[in-house]
Amino acid sequence: MRTPEQALEIVRCLEEEYPDSLCSLEYGRDYELLFSVRLAAQCTDERVNMVTPALFARFPTLESFAAADVEEVEKYVKSCGFYHTKARDIVACAQILLARHGGRVPDTMEELVKLPGVGRKTANLILGDIYNVPGAVTVDTHCIRLSNRMGLVDGEKDPVKIETALRAQIPPEKTNNFTHRLVLHGRAVCTARKPYCERCCVRHVCQFASG
């Protein structure tokens, strides 16, 4: 495990390396981010960004999504995989947002995880990106891999336990951007196939690189 000082150094180095830590999913409205994250499950953000412009043009309002035929939505999202479930969840989610939340995306973990297809990972991303809630930690595959390699957690695969561990080590106002930076670093340097330690900005405080 890293010391508190090492953890903060990892945060600092990633901030310096990736000053723009925006979510890579493209959206205009809050609910569009929610639907895009649902489509991104077991799919790349790049693929989702190719699909959503036509999807959001065909269904330009939350009301149009709520009234949509699920089979028609499926045609737009088929290339994202698991399209039957994803299309069904999107339409049902739109209906619930209108019926229970006045068309607004909820701003609490408790309400978000009640929505179809929404788990803690999606809820944390929404809380962090839309509502800027301190302490939001989005644990995806990059986060799991890099947190273990860097030594922020030790052999931990449970997303909830990793979320808790990172929240204890990272300043709450930095957690959301930190997890976005882990995604960027995981794609560019610390890849699943092989970590390129020789060009890593945190190698001097990384458990894997120093081990």
Question: Would you list the domain boundaries of the chain?
Answer: 4-22+135-210, 30-129
Catalytic residue chosen out of the listed positions 121, 129, 154, 194? 121
Mark whether 20 is an active-site residue.
Answer: no
Mark whether 140 is an active-site residue.
Answer: yes
Query: Domain spanning 30-129: which CATH class is it, in words?
Result: mainly alpha
Catalytic residue chosen out of the listed positions 86, 89, 129, 140? 140
pLDDT for 119-142, tens place per residue?
A: 999 999 999 999 999 999 999 999
pLDDT at 156: 96
pLDDT at 21: 76
Return the CATH fold of 4-22+135-210: Endonuclease Iii, domain 2 (1.10.1670)
Dihedral angle, C-alpha 114, 26, 30, 119, nearest 10 °: 10
Cβ–Cβ under 8 Å, residues 37 and 24: no
pLDDT at 172: 98
Low-confidence stretches of the chain (pLDDT beneath 50): none
pLDDT at 132: 96
pLDDT at 22: 82
| Nearest residue to 130 via CA among 176, 87, 183, 92 | 176
pLDDT at 49: 97
